[in-house]
């Protein structure tokens, strides 16, 4: 018997071309497709609105699936950590801007949500040396509510059910602002403790 330590196993190298990253890139690629459908249709006509909604929902679903794959099969990469939130912000931000541009959603709602989204992203980079601000349950609820509200606005929902859209967006807006405040507190705590 020797007292020499066992050799450390080599670190597992995760390919950049893994399914999680492919889905993240697909989400980015679907953003211009979504924009093209919305702009070509002007958000008028049942078929075009359904197509825009389906592309948006498909792209949104890749956000859940790529994260699940990355965690389940240990395929987390530096590229994925950076590209995933950028893809999310590009998709939801573009959808909100288009909804406001076509007078479906007040501009102030879009501005508040985008300010919070980019603000939290900036906070995460601000404290990255000290720790990670993980997505909270509130943050995940915010994402679900935003996706549901945007999809409701995109889909040609008949009256009186179309009135549900503003309520969904209102709930998304409240949760967005509250969780933004929570992330700010976490970031300040991380900076203070280090």
Could you read off the pLDDT of 87-108 as tens digits, one per residue? 989 999 999 999 999 999 999 9
Pairwise CA distance, residues 89 & 83, whole Å: 10
Give residue 137's pLDDT band: very low, low, confident or very high (50, 70, 90): confident
pLDDT, tens digit (0-9, with 9 covering 90-100), for 159-187:
999 999 999 999 999 999 999 999 888 88
Model's pTM, two decimal places?
Answer: 0.86
- Is the pLDDT at 7 greater than 60? The verdict is no
Pairwise CA distance, residues 119 & 129, whole Å: 17
Using an 8 Å Cβ cutoff, are 43 and 104 in contact?
yes
| Helix (H) or strand (E) run with residue 191 in it | helix 164-193
Pairwise CA distance, residues 147 & 50, whole Å: 15
Query: Which among 75, 65, 178 is positioned nearest to 120, based on CA atoms?
Result: 178
What pLDDT score does 81 carry? 76
What pLDDT score does 115 carry? 96
- Is the pLDDT at 135 greater than 80? The verdict is no
Least confident piece of the model among 6-20, 70-84, 137-151: 6-20
- Is the pLDDT at 140 greater than 60? The verdict is yes
Using an 8 Å Cβ cutoff, are 32 and 95 in contact?
no
DSSP state string for 43-96:
T-SHHHHHHHHHHHHHHHHHHHHHHHHHHHTT---HHHHHHHHHHHHHHHHHHH
């Amino acid at each position: 018997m020797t007292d020499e330590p066992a050799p450390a196993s080599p670190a597992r190298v995760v390919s950049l071309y893994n399914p999680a990253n492919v889905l993240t890139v697909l989400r980015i690629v679907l953003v211009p497709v979504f924009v093209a459908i919305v702009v070509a249709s002007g958000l008028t006509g049942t078929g075009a609105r359904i197509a825009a909604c389906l592309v948006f929902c498909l792209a949104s679903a890749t956000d859940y699936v790529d994260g699940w794959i990355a965690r389940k099969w240990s395929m987390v990469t530096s590229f994925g950590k950076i590209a995933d939130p950028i893809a999310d912000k590009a998709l939801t931000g573009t959808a909100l801007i288009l909804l406001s541009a076509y007078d479906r959603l007040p501009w102030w709602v879009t501005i508040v949500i985008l300010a919070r989204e980019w603000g939290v992203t900036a906070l995460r980079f601000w404290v990255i040396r000290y720790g990670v601000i993980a997505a909270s349950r509130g943050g995940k609820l915010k994402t679900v509510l935003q996706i549901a509200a945007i999809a409701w606005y995109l889909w040609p929902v008949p009256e009186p059910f179309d009135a549900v859209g503003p309520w969904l967006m209102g709930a998304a807006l409240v949760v967005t602002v509250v969780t933004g405040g929570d992330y700010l507190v976490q970031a300040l705590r991380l900076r203070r403790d280090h």
